[in-house]
């Protein structure tokens, strides 16, 4: 058999090839039962989120939150302490009891009789021609082609050259959660969300944590949240602000990282969390005519199609400007629709993308920062509401949590919402709805009840604290 171009012999041709078993694995449903499908996955089924990312890390975060609540319970009049941490038990509960069986079941499902139209390939995928891929099953190397190809190959950790070339043992998010023992001390290189989530986890469970960020922590946050979070983090961790690694070596105390100012940081374990890079460069995309952006993502049009290669689609970290699982899932649903409905294409949904960082305090954001809103020329109104000023904040004895809302004084439209504190990722959902449905904030607070004394009152009070130039305009039905 040969590809449509007629130049490369192939072992099998498919209607659809999917590279990656993360969000891409959710594409084939009953609607695709009449199509032959190949899924290529050279790692664990389920992708980064299930196996080494969002899901297991949040299971650790919940454990860490519980531990921190215990150690800080004195402010509530309780005398409690943690007498031991069963790290191997935690690892087993998360992976052996939950994550690993789910990943295995996902692969078994695709390999088994319930999806007879699907073949699984477990060798690495490399393009060798137009919509043609070299991969394999077990020890057998094969070349396959497809009418349509969806690239959902994800991303991988970035390792600074000073660490990669040092020869020391380092960890990333891909293996740090499966350590055999809880380390006594840890150095974390990086200051983004992965670094801050693991800093919280290990510190809360008893590890001494040193953080080495090249500038500040979570530097893209709105300034009010950024400044407050960095102040809190500096009290909790040993933070070496504005430092970069120049090398590392093994010492009697563990791994010592040499920094650019001549100082050093030593820990029993070294975690590198300096960002992620798309995996497109591992697929030999030029051989298939698939173009890439300057920052390594696959170039797509507004519908998720390659701009340079017909019949090629992409989603998730390999192409998206947002390395977030909920974005990959939304892109997957869009690409799935477009594969099934080529005459009625939907645009990739990238409006009002929210994000959360499950550190402590928890952080969630959507929309513009205050600086961005002013740079865009909006007539801005801002309200920063303390958790500690509402009744449930009193129950929490919260002195650091805030909700910051940014709106346009003239239109009544929300521009950005930023939460730092207890259940921030849940509280922000109402503001995501406001943006998604383009609601007018001048009537949003008064047109619904806010349960007293629940924590969403912090949002209600923030809304009532915004100032606007005039009331909301009546809608069409009211005017009629």
CB burial of residue 55 (10 Å; 0-12, 13-18, 19+): middle
Contact yes or no for 456/422 (Cβ under 8 A): no
Structure tokens at 42: 């050279």
Instruction: Evaluate the CA torsion angle 214, 220, 223, 227 in order and state its sign.
Output: negative
Q: Which residue, among 150, 123, 396, 163, has the nearest Cα to 290 in the 3D structure? A: 150
Q: For residue 68, what are the CA distances in angstroms to 62, 73, 74, 205, 267? A: 10, 8, 11, 8, 22
Looking at residue 254, what DSSP letter applies?
E
Backbone φ and ψ of 119, nearest 5°: -110, 145
Looking at residue 306, what DSSP letter applies?
B
Tell me, yes or no, if 452 is annotated catalytic: yes
Rounded-to-integer distance, Cα 413 and Cα 366, Å = 14
**Phi and psi based region of residue 470 (left: phi greater than 0; alpha: psi -120 to 50; beta: remaining):** left
**H helix or E strand, kind and range, residue 47:** helix 47-52
CB burial of residue 30 (10 Å; 0-12, 13-18, 19+): exposed
Contact yes or no for 278/291 (Cβ under 8 A): no
Contact yes or no for 322/353 (Cβ under 8 A): yes
Q: How do strand 414-420 and strand 363-367 relate by DSSP bridges?
A: antiparallel
Contact yes or no for 23/50 (Cβ under 8 A): no
Q: Is it true that the peptide bond before 453 is cis, omega within 30 degrees of 0?
A: yes
Rounded-to-integer distance, Cα 303 and Cα 300, Å = 7
- A 10 A CB-CB count for 54 gives 17
Looking at residue 22, what DSSP letter applies?
S
For Cα atoms 408, 410, 415, give the angle at the middle one, nearest 5 degrees: 15
For Cα atoms 340, 341, 343, give the angle at the middle one, nearest 5 degrees: 150
Rounded-to-integer distance, Cα 130 and Cα 310, Å = 9
| Three-state DSSP state, 190 | coil
Active site residues: 452
């Amino acid at each position: 058999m040969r590809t449509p171009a007629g130049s490369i012999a192939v072992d099998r041709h498919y209607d659809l090839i999917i590279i990656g078993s993360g969000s891409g694995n959710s594409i084939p449903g009953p609607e695709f039962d009449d199509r032959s499908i190949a899924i290529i996955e050279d790692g664990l089924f389920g992708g980064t989120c299930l196996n080494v990312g969002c899901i297991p890390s949040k299971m650790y975060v919940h454990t860490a939150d519980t531990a921190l609540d215990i150690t800080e319970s004195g402010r509530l009049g309780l005398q409690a302490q943690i007498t031991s941490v069963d790290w191997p038990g935690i690892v087993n509960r998360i992976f052996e009891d939950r994550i690993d069986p789910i990943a295995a079941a996902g692969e078994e499902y695709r390999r088994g009789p319930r999806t007879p139209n699907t073949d699984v390939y477990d060798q690495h995928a490399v393009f060798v021609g137009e919509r043609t891929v070299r991969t394999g099953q077990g020890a057998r190397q094969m070349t396959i082609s497809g009418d349509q190809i969806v690239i959902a190959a994800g991303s991988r950790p970035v390792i600074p050259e000073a660490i990669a070339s040092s020869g020391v043992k380092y960890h990333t998010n891909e293996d740090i959660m499966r350590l055999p023992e809880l380390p006594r001390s840890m150095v974390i290189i990086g200051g983004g969300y992965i670094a801050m989530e693991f800093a919280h986890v290990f510190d809360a469970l008893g590890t001494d944590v040193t953080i080495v960020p090249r500038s500040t922590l979570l530097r893209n946050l709105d300034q009010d949240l950024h400044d407050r979070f960095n102040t809190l983090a500096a009290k909790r961790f040993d933070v070496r602000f504005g430092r970069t690694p120049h090398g590392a070596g093994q010492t009697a105390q563990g791994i010592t990282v040499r920094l650019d100012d001549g100082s050093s940081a030593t820990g029993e374990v070294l975690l590198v969390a300096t960002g992620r890079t798309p995996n497109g460069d591992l697929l030999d995309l030029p051989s298939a005519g698939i173009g890439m952006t300057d920052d390594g993502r696959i170039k797509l049009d507004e519908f998720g199609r390659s701009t340079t290669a017909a019949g090629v689609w992409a989603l998730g970290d390999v192409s998206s400007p947002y390395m977030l699982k909920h974005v990959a899932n939304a892109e997957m649903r869009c690409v799935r629709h477009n594969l099934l409905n080529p005459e009625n294409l939907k645009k990739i949904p990238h409006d009002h993308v929210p994000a959360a960082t499950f550190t402590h305090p928890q952080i969630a954001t959507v929309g513009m920062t205050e600086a961005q809103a002013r740079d865009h020329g909006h007539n801005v109104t801002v309200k920063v509401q303390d958790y500690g000023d509402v009744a449930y904040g009193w129950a929490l004895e919260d002195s650091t949590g805030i909700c910051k809302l940014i709106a346009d004084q003239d239109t009544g439209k929300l521009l950005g919402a930023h939460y730092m504190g207890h259940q921030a990722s849940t509280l922000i959902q109402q503001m995501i709805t406001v943006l998604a449905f383009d609601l007018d904030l001048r009537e949003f607070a008064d047109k619904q009840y806010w349960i007293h004394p629940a924590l969403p009152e912090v949002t209600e009070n923030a809304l009532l604290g915004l100032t606007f130039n005039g009331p909301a305009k009546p809608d069409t039905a009211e005017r009629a």
